[in-house]
Structure 1
Amino acid sequence: MLPKVRMPETRKMITLEVVANTRLSPGLASITLGGPELEHLIPTGRDQIVRLFFPRDGQDRLRMPSFSNEAWMAELLMLPKSRRPWVRTFTIRRTRPELGEVDIEFVLHGDTPASNWARRARPGDPAGIFDMGLTYLPPAEASWQLLAGDESAVPAILAILEHAPASLAGEVFLEVPETADIRPDITVPEGVRVHWLPRDGAGGLPGTLALETVRRAHLPPGRCYTWAAGEAKLATGLRRHLVNDRGMPKSDIAFFGYWRHGRSSPG
């Protein structure tokens, strides 16, 4: 089943540059992007998804697609790899329209194009974004919410919580690699409990700790809206548990496999 996505009414390819590169923890970096073209981005808060474009090693400039519709991918694939930028999917962590800035957080894991770029990114480096809409679409009838994810979903979930109404009730499960990755400074509604789950070197597939913790958890009664994302087995396993073991309707569960262990994104 394809996820429900609320697309923006209008959108445009936006070319920006790096404003700052802030290390939040040994394994997490926040890249601030800015520029006058950011006026074309309509901030929605919550899990606003963007395609991020950044140069490959050795490229002298960033070549953005000219199409601001679904034809952009075909246009990009027509370019030889020597001229084609890297493209990855991220969630905007925070927007500051008054400053013309957005923050995007990167998990620094291994020798991947996005991690390597984030480690080296310096002010003035080019990057681009293209708005892909949002997927966090809770029904008004839900009495509480379950949000769960691994480190790849933490920026989206924190953005959701920052824009949540004060009346929100929910349980949040956030699996991260290390205790150093816990974010003690977040502010959440009074009715929301956040469970940080650091692996701290424990073996096993990323996402397993969050999945097993939810399976053992005592969850509130009432209609629940679930938003879950991260490693593919976490997303699908959590949905299966909620439907088969908890009796939750599939229509109240939004789940997304952001990545798959052992596989890299195509370039």
Structure 2
Amino acid sequence: MNIHRGIVSRTTPLTPTLRRVTLEGPGIADFLSTGIGDEYVRVFFPHGDDPTEVSLPVPEGDWWATPPGAPEAPMRTYTISGVRPHVGEVDIDFVIHRTGIAGPWAANARPGHVIGLNSPTGLYAPPADTTWQVLVSDLTGLPAVARIAAGIRAGIRTRIVLEVPDENDRVEFAVPENVEVTWVIGGNGHGPSALGQVVRSIVDARLPLAEGYVWVAGETVALRDVRAYLRRELGLSAARFKVIGYWTPIENWTSKYADLPETVRRELDAIWVDTPHDEPEDVQVRFEARLNQLGL
């Protein structure tokens, strides 16, 4: 794994709440895209008031570490919306928020500002025998959906549903003839998400489930029902779906988790440790069910 230093070359408003930041510079020259449509990176933001200074960690195997004595850079995870290796550019699309780290940074990003990012990893992996697929996401996953759609293999019938906060947040993108795109207004922190209902309304036992693939991304809490539905109720194999939580609507989730009684945190850890032979998706369903009970 490498840690890259990206310099903002330009920003492009895509919608009232979605802004594209284009990065360039020597640190981006060796950025190696996986070519997978939903590839993502960890983004390291400036640690102080100077937007041109970022405390980059150093690679340690498949992870990283902050050098001794150096400030720790705030980190968030984002999908890559575009890579142009011939000109040494990488695009990341940010949903603009007034609070937090990434949203305010993107809203104020200017040429010359600096962030760090690690080597990308992709998750979208439909089996070779897939004949149909369903892609569902809120605004945070729109960049990934657009890249996936651009590379859909001929012969795979595809249904895409995108939940955006407002009609003005629709971003048109090119799709092959075998792809149907539907837009839904709501969710995205402005109201209850309909992602769970959308998946249930499209993917059911009437479909040839052994030939399909389901990819869903967006609000973490809303997707817990999606994962349980696909795995427990429909019995899909882990290779036939991918559910990815991009963000949580629960404020201060990390600190609230850390404040749980030690006995409860040990219980949550044990869900993973005591079931080493179970499918990770099954363990995740049990883990998320317990988080729901705890209000997390």
TM-score normalized by the length of structure 1? 0.84
How far is the alpha carbon of 1:242 from its aligned partner? 2.8
Q: 1:233-259: per-residue Cα shift (whole Å, max 9, x none)?
A: 332212222344445334311111122
Number of residue pairs matched by the alignment: 250
Whether 2:39 is the aligned partner of 1:48: answer yes
Taking a change above 3 Å as real, the CA distance of residues 164 and 118 of structure 1, as seen in their structure-2 partners, is same
Give 1:195's aligned residue: 182
Structure with the greater relative contact order (CA < 8 A, sep ≥ 6): 1 or 2? 1
Give 2:237's aligned residue: 249
Q: Is the 8 A contact 2:3 2:117 kept in 1?
A: yes
1:223-234 aligned at under 5 Å gives the runs 223-234=211-222
How far is the alpha carbon of 1:126 from its aligned partner? 1.0
Q: 1:69-104: per-residue Cα shift (whole Å, max 9, x none)?
A: 34514x36x556xx3222111110011111110110
Give 1:3's aligned residue: none
1:65 corresponds to which of 31, 52, 57: 57
Whether 2:226 is the aligned partner of 1:238: answer yes
Q: Is the 8 A contact 1:175 1:196 kept in 2?
A: yes
TM-score normalized by the length of structure 2? 0.76
Q: 1:112-164: per-residue Cα shift (whole Å, max 9, x none)?
A: 11001001100011111101411111110111111111111111111111222
Give 1:221's aligned residue: 207
Among all aligned residue pairs of Structure 1 and Structure 2, give the percentage whose two residues are the same amino acid. Answer: 31
1:1-267 aligned at under 5 Å gives the runs 11-45=1-35, 46-59=37-50, 61-67=53-59, 69-73=61-65, 75=66, 83-184=71-172, 186-199=173-186, 204-205=191-192, 208-217=193-202, 221-222=207-208, 223-264=211-252
Q: List alignment gaps of at least 5 residues for structure 2.
A: 256-296
- Give SS of 1:189's match: coil
How far is the alpha carbon of 1:33 from its aligned partner? 0.5
Which letter does structure 2 place at the counterpart of 1:233?
Answer: V
Larger Rg: 2
How far is the alpha carbon of 1:266 from its aligned partner? 5.8
Taking a change above 3 Å as real, the CA distance of residues 161 and 233 of structure 1, as seen in their structure-2 partners, is same
How far is the alpha carbon of 1:165 from its aligned partner? 2.4
Q: Is the 8 A contact 1:235 1:255 kept in 2?
A: yes
Q: 1:21-50: per-residue Cα shift (whole Å, max 9, x none)?
A: 111111110000011232322122311111
Q: Which ranges of 4 or more aligned residues in structure 1 deviate by more than 6 Å?
A: 200-203
Q: List alignment gaps of at least 5 residues for structure 1.
A: 1-10
For the aligned residue pairs, the C-alpha RMSD in angstroms reads: 2.5
